[in-house]
Amino acid sequence: MVEKGARRVVYTVDDQSVVHETTIEVGLQNRERAEVIKGLKLGDQVVIKGQTLLHDKDEVRVAGGKV
């Protein structure tokens, strides 16, 4: 999760290995975890490392080779 002003965003990865900046709404959270209550759907692939270096529509290589 990345904070951009008042917004919180994550980067999701599509089937073409392109990332999309996705605004989320967070419920409960602590230092290690956050409950996403709006903005993601079941099955979305979310970038968990290096997200501070990404921009919307960047192409990425997925670790393990699958999306």
Per-residue pLDDT at 64: 74
Residue 27 included in any domain: yes
Q: Confidence class of residue 63 from pLDDT cuts 50, 70 and 90?
A: confident
- Residue 7 falls inside a structural domain: yes
22 belongs to a structural domain = yes
Total tally of structural domains belonging to the chain = 1
pLDDT in tens, 19-53: 999 999 999 999 989 999 999 999 999 998 998 89
**Would residue 62 count as lying in a domain?**
no
| This prediction's pTM | 0.83
Over residues 13-23, mean pLDDT: 95
Tell me which residue range forms the domain holding 36.
Answer: 2-52
Per-residue confidence (pLDDT) for residue 22, from 0 to 100:
96
Q: Is there a domain that residue 13 lies in?
A: yes
H/E run at residue 29: strand 19-29
Average pLDDT of the chain is 91
Q: Answer whether residue 25 is part of any domain.
A: yes
Q: What CA–CA distance (Å, rounded) separates 48 from 25?
A: 17
